[in-house]
Structure 1
Amino acid sequence: MNLEHVFLCGNPALDFAATLRARRSVRFEMFVSGDRLDAWYLESGIVDAVTPAGESDVERAVTVREAIYELVTARVAEEAFGRGALAVVNDAARRPPAAPQLTATGRWTDATQEEALSVVARNAVELLSGADVPLMKECGNPECTRVYIDRSRGRRRQWCGMDSCGNKLKAAAYRARKKQAQAVGAR
């Protein structure tokens, strides 16, 4: 599996939660180092620069990520939030966030690790208490555990992304139909 971060869930908090991939099978960790965490913050666009992450920053980010995932999956399942996960996310959201600045060339956001993580946690708070809650779905690919916001017409989207999961599922369904048709024709 590659180490590229993807942003297809429709909200930074959901994309952050998706950095532990395939939770029900091979569990692929994207935050294997401080550099990977830094890259996520930059690639997500929530900050333009971030102080380099140390091991404790990665541990804290993973703790917040897991709490966000727990809260998101509880909300999707229409279950009560866990108190521990609530405390973790609220503590991170309570910290000062990264503050964008206006420069001669435009907007620039320089952040510490704590400020960047606060932005992610605040996104989670807004998401889980906002109008997009009914639009959250888990990907239909059994191997994928991403939760995404379905803004498709009729809310019929079945997977987190066409390139990542949709094509795989469609191709597998096509092969299964073709195999079944051949089996019926051979009788």
Structure 2
Amino acid sequence: MLAPSQAFLQLADDPALDFANTLATNEGELYDYLQTDGDVVAWLQAMGYLDAKEQPSFRKGALLGSARHLRDVIRKLVIQKKEGKRVDIAALNAFLVHVRYHVNLVRKAHGHLDVVHEYERSSPEQLLSPVAQAAAELLATGDFELVRKCEADDCVLWFYDRTKAHRRRWCSMAMCGNRHKVANFRARQRYAAGE
């Protein structure tokens, strides 16, 4: 697992799952990568939801509280959907009701056109609305056969398996996949040594 001081995990291949993964295990203990309002802003910037220059200002702790609540809602709904249960959409809709944006057609470099959604950001919920919208899209249109929890027993991370063969098992081969391989190798060595 990455050290808490390192960059946010972006390994889920889905922004809503990456947001859910801001609560992760680190050295065997649950670690919250969202410790301050600034951490939430940094995550939004890292994901491209907020420009690096933008520094929203709300009552201290308000953004963090809203972000943690939204993350809990997303985690709960993903688990409900994955288990085939009825998804309780009321809590996510409570965030989505704050979504306000307008759409612009903009000209990018080399004359390419792009559609840009510009969100209102006058409240913590509005600042988080692109994340809530990504979660709604995942729940409504995602293939939950391909939404998976990492197979490592001590890992709580989720991912969307977009690999060609759809056989992804680990949140990351560099983290949990490698630990699994090393553990299997050591077990084979002990077995061969007759332990």
Q: Deviations over 1:112-132 (max 9, x none)?
A: 343331100110011011043
Query: Which of 1, 4, 9 is the matching residue for 1:2?
Result: 4
Moved over 3 A (4+): 97-111
Q: 1:87 to 1:41 in 2, by over 3 A?
A: same
Q: Return the alpha-carbon distance in structure 1 between the equivalents of residues 96 and 102 of structure 2.
A: 14
1:148, 1:160 within 8 Å by CA — same for their partners in 2?
Answer: yes
Determine if the alignment matches structure 1 residue 29 to structure 2 residue 2: no
- Structure 1: stretches of 5+ with no match in the other structure: none
- State yes or no: 1:125 paired with 2:127: no
TM alignment of 1:30-179, pairs within 5 A: 30-48=33-51, 49-52=54-57, 54-81=60-87, 83=88, 86-97=89-100, 102=106, 112=121, 113-179=124-190
Residue 134 (structure 1) shift: 2.2
Contact 2:4 2:33 in 1 (8 A): no
Residues 9-62 of structure 1: per-residue CA shift (max 9 Å, x gap): 011110001111139x62101111111111100001122235146301101110
Residue 153 of structure 1 aligns to a residue in which SS? Answer: coil
1:182 to partner: Cα distance: 1.5
**SS at 2:168 equivalent:** coil
**Per-residue CA shift, 1:74-100, capped at 9, x if unaligned?**
11121222x3xx222111122125667
Distance 1:12 1:50, change over 3 A: farther
**1: distance between equivalents of 2:130 and 2:117?**
15
Aligned-partner residue type, residue 76 of structure 2: E
Name the count of aligned residue pairs: 180
In proportion to residue count, which structure has more helix? 1
The amino acid of 1:2's aligned partner reads: P
The unaligned stretches of length 5 or more in structure 2 are none
Return closer, same or farther for 1:5/1:59 CA change in 2, 3 Å cut-off: same
Q: Which segment drifts farther, 99-108 or 148-157?
A: 99-108
TM-score (norm 2): 0.81
- Flag the 1:67–1:108 CA change in 2: closer, same or farther, 3 A: closer
**Conserved 8 A contact 1:9-1:160:** yes
